[in-house]
Structure 1
Amino acid sequence: MRKISANYIFPVTGKPLKNGILIIDKEGMIVDLIDTGGNLKEEENLEFYNGILVPGFINAFCNFEELKTISAHLPEISVNELLSWAIFNGAKALKMDKTLGSFEKGKNPGINLIENFDFKKMRLTGNSTVRALV
């Protein structure tokens, strides 16, 4: 089992979890998603990342650049809504939402880390980057 945490986890089918924890098996399947209530305690074998964790994109780099552009020009749209459009709706459109598109027990969506996120405004920035963790 692998325990992964970040400043925020965006499950995309629910509210963002501050300092949440994802527990995945060796194949990357989600075993649990823990809401710590924002109170993360040091824990053995816990990997912590500075940024936000999101489910894998269908086309990560193309979609991510589009999200940054939308976020810059339409600040009234929350990052949670943008991520839901790009990730969950993308998986749903491809009829892959049973296994991909969100952080839910039993799914294997992959895990991306978004770095250089503006936590004060809860926005993507022009300097935000994405990389695959799982």
Structure 2
Amino acid sequence: MSQNIDPNKISLTPLTSEDLGGRRGVKAVTLDKQGRLSLSSALRLELGIAGRPAHIFVSIDLAQRVIGIVKHDAVTSVVNAAQVKVDKRGYTSGKALLDKFGLSQKSGPYKFDYVGKLDSAGADWHAFRLRSASAQ
């Protein structure tokens, strides 16, 4: 240790995931520059689909800029919904969401923050709100 530093005056503060720019352990989704919807590892663990391909339903509220995600077998009936296949890394196509929200793929990535669970169609959907451009 340098002779100029008094070890008794050092007070270490751990870095948080926000400090590191990551969102480890946080349920979140991202629309990346490749047009993919990426589910965080924490969300995949919560859905029970970590490390393996699976199917989900995705819903959208354009007015609130919110998307909802639920594992396909968690709901009994979702009218006119198509299952979306997620690969083992948590990626699926997000091009439909880009189109619905009127977002440019080139301007991405777009981050969605976890809002909470919403009860719809007899299941708890995980809801995520699109971050404002200034918070991206």
**Shorter-chain TM band:** 0.3 to 0.5
Structure of larger gyration radius: 2
TM-score relative to the length of structure 2: 0.32
Compare the two structures and name the one with the higher strand fraction.
2
